[in-house]
Amino acid sequence: MDLRFTPEEIAFRDDLRRFFREKVPAEIRKKVAEGRHLDKEDIVTSQRILNAAGLATPNWPVAWGGKDWTPVQRYIFTEELQRAAVPLPLQFNVFMVGPVIATFGSEEQKRKFLPATANVDIWWCQGFSEPGAGSDLASLRTTAEKRDGKYVVSGQKAWTTLGQHADWIFCLVRTDKSAKKQKGISFLLIDMKSPGITVRPVITIDGAHEVNEVFFDDVEVPEENLVGEENKGWDYAKFLLANERTGIARIGLSKQRLARAKRLARETEAGGGTLWDDTDFRRRVAELEVGLKALEITQMRVVANQTKRDADKPDPASSILKIKGSELQQLTTELLLEVAGPYAIPAPDHEQPEGWNEPAVSPEWADAAAPLYFNYRKVSIYGGSNEIQRNIIAKAFLGL
Partner 1 sequence: MDFDLTEEQRLLKESIDRFAADNARDPAAHGTAPDIWPQLAELGVLALPFSEEDGGIGGGPVETMIVMEALGRGLITAPYLPSVVLGGGFLRLGGNAAQKAEFIPQVAEGSLKMAFAQLEKGSRYDLYDVSTTAKRDGGDFVLDGRKGVVLGGDDAGLLVVTARTAGSRRDHDGITLFLVDAEAPGVSRRGSAAQDGTRVAEIAFDGVRVPAGRVLGEVDGGLPLAGHVVDVALAALCADSLGAMEELQRVTVDYLKTRQQFGVPIASFQALQHRAADMLVAVEQARSMAVYAAMMAEETDILTRRPAIAAAKAQVNRSGRQVGQEAVQLHGGIAMTWEYKAGHYFKRLTTNDVIFGDTDHHLRAVMQEGGLVEEV
Ligand X SMILES: Cc1cc2nc3c(=O)[nH]c(=O)nc-3n(C[C@H](O)[C@H](O)[C@H](O)COP(=O)(O)OP(=O)(O)OC[C@H]3O[C@@H](n4cnc5c(N)ncnc54)[C@H](O)[C@@H]3O)c2cc1C
List of residues contacting ligand X (CB under 6 A) = 126, 128-129, 134-135, 159-161, 211, 378, 381-382, 385, 387-388, 391
**Binder among 226, 292, 331, 369 for partner 1 (CB under 8 A):** 292
Contact range with partner 1 by CB under 8 A, out of 1-9, 132-140, 196-204, 214-222? 1-9
Task: Report how far residue 342's alpha carbon sits from residue 361's, in angstroms, rounded to the nearest whole number.
Answer: 10
Q: Which residues pair with 198 in a beta bridge?
A: 215
- Are 258 and 288 spatial neighbours (Cβ–Cβ below 8 Å)? yes
Work out whether 14 is an interface residue with partner 1 (CB under 8 A): no
> Which is the catalytic residue, given 79, 80, 130, 244?
244
Interface region with partner 1, contact rule CB under 8 A, candidates 144-152, 199-207, 218-226, 291-299 = 291-299
Q: Which does 382 bind (CB under 5 to 8 A by kind): ligand X, partner 1, none?
A: ligand X
Q: Among partner 1, ligand X, none, what does residue 72 contact (CB within 5–8 Å per kind)?
A: partner 1
- Please report how close the Cβ of residue 337 comes to partner 1 at its closest, in angstroms: 18
Tell me if 202 sits within 8 A of 211, measured CB to CB.
yes
Is 244 considered catalytic here?
Answer: yes
* Residue 206 contact partner, candidates ligand X, partner 1, none, CB within 5 to 8 A by sort of partner: none
Select the span of 3-11, 34-42, 61-69, 369-377 touching partner 1 (CB under 8 A): 3-11
**Residue 154, H or E segment:** strand 150-157
Task: Give burial (CB, 10 Å; 0-12/13-18/19+) of 4.
Answer: exposed
Q: How far is the CB of 11 from partner 1 (least distance, A)?
A: 15
Q: Which residues contact 247 (CB under 8 A, 6 or more apart)?
A: 78, 95
Residue 316 contacts partner 1 per CB under 8 A: yes
Task: Kindly tell me which residue out of 242, 304, 347, 381 binds partner 1, with binding defined by CB under 8 A.
Answer: 304
d(CA 321, CA 302): 9
| Amino acid (1-letter code) at residue 249 | A
Q: Work out what residue 394 binds among ligand X, partner 1, none; the CB cut-off runs from 5 to 8 Å by kind.
A: partner 1
CA 95 to chain centre: 8
> Does residue 297 touch partner 1 according to CB under 8 A?
yes
Q: Among ligand X, partner 1, none, what does residue 181 contact (CB within 5–8 Å per kind)?
A: none
- Rounded Cα distance, 287 and 400, in Å: 31
Q: Does 158 bind partner 1 (CB under 8 A)?
A: no
Q: State how far the alpha carbon of 14 is from the alpha carbons of 5, 8, 26, in Å.
A: 12, 10, 18
Q: Which residues contact 242 (CB under 8 A, 6 or more apart)?
A: 318
Asked if 344 and 372 touch (Cβ cutoff 8 Å), the reply is no
Question: End-to-end distance of the chain based on CA atoms, in angstroms?
Answer: 32
d(CA 255, CA 82): 9
Residues 258-287 that bind partner 1 (CB under 8 A): 258-260, 262-263, 279, 282-283, 285-287
Any residues with CB less than 8 A from the CB of 210 and at least 6 apart, and which? 37, 161, 162, 204, 375
Smallest gap from Cβ 185 to ligand X, in A, equals: 13
Interface with partner 1 includes 9 (CB under 8 A)?
yes
Residue numbers annotated as active site: 244
- State the residues that interact with partner 1 by CB under 8 A: 1-6, 9, 17, 72, 83-84, 255-256, 258-260, 262-263, 279, 282-283, 285-287, 289-298, 300-301, 303-305, 316-317, 319-320, 323-324, 387, 389-391, 393-395, 397-400
